[in-house]
Structure 1
Amino acid sequence: MGRINFCGETVVLIDVYGHLDTLKFVVHMAYLHFINKELLMNILISITILLLSHLTNIANAGSLNNGEWTPSSCGEEPAAPVVDDRDVDEFNKSVNAINDRQQQAKTYYGCLIEEANKDNGVIADKANREQLDYKKSFETISASVDAAKKKLDKK
């Protein structure tokens, strides 16, 4: 989600990379209603920053190879420590290692979930955009067919 200041109002741009029509509308309205080029430039800069921030988030997403998804910026999954029961000192070291691993695992799995959620969002947005493009294409073709039919019916 992004916000820009537009004509003294805060305009919320949701899912910027998925709704470029919203951006086109904001830019078009700014162009039509303002002679102030500085304000128009500030709006365009704000939109550019929002787009770049979304692209940065997308670039940090995981990768999918041969049906196996892996996060790209979480590092390695922490290895499970072994409990050493040879003596009290070794056991205490094991417990410390387990506690350290718990913190590392919390960070790793938090990162993994965040990347997975980003990827899920990107995939869903892409599928929705493709479906919308298909619908628009079908509507355009249907309108052309209807217009051609009406034209030929008049002959």
Structure 2
Amino acid sequence: MKRKTALLAGMVLACGWGLGVTPVQAAGRAWAPQNCGSEPAAPAVDVSSVERYNASVDKVTAYQKEARAYNSCVVRSAMHEETAISEDAKERIAFVHDSSTAVQKRIAANFEKLTATLKAGNARLQKAAQ
């Protein structure tokens, strides 16, 4: 009994009871991992007798194994999706930046051309007025 108690206590401290991942709500939307199956349900723990306690330890151990595998899948799925979103954002930002830069260059070129034309016209008109 002491061995299983120590084992259970160690596992609880090592990974905690709350490994479960539920879809995250953000602005009315929910995210769920792709291809990970269903999140395993945490088992009920019965400590009313040594036999039921030991059975609970076995259930918790099995749950922890399933939950860790599910959690690993969730992490991989999230990283994959976050990378795709990040790459899309980089491309969109580059497009906006390049478009903005092109506008700025056109306006600067127009200013230079207009300034040069006005300067030349001013010089010609002053010369003609003399």
Match of 2:76 in 1: 114
Which of the numbers 71, 89, 97 marks the counterpart of 1:127?
89
- Larger RCO: 1 or 2 (CA < 8 Å, sep 6+): 2
Pairs within 5 Å for 1:42-53: none
Structure with bigger strand share is: 1
Match of 2:59 in 1: 97
Deviation at 1:136, TM superposition (A): 0.6
The answer to whether structure 1 residue 71 and structure 2 residue 33 are counterparts is yes
**Tell me, what secondary structure is at the counterpart of 1:78?**
coil
**Tell me, what secondary structure is at the counterpart of 1:82?**
coil
Match of 1:56 in 2: none
Q: 2:69 & 2:110 partners in 1: Cα distance?
A: 61
**Tell me, what secondary structure is at the counterpart of 1:97?**
helix
Query: One-letter code of the match for 2:97?
Result: K
Deviation at 1:153, TM superposition (A): 2.7
- Work out which of the two has the higher radius of gyration on C-alpha atoms and give 1 or 2: 2
Deviation at 1:138, TM superposition (A): 1.0
| Structure 1 residue ranges without an equivalent (≥5) | 1-61
The answer to whether structure 1 residue 136 and structure 2 residue 98 are counterparts is yes
TM-score, with structure 1 as normaliser: 0.52
Task: Classify 1:144/1:64 alpha carbon distance in 2 versus 1 (closer, same or farther; 3 Å).
Answer: farther
Deviation at 1:74, TM superposition (A): 1.2
TM-score, with structure 2 as normaliser: 0.60
- String of CA shifts for 1:103-136, please: whole Å, max 9, x gaps: 1001011111111222222222222222211111
* Superposed CA RMSD: 2.4
| Structure 2 residue ranges without an equivalent (≥5) | 1-22, 118-130
Query: One-letter code of the match for 2:82?
Result: N
Match of 1:30 in 2: none
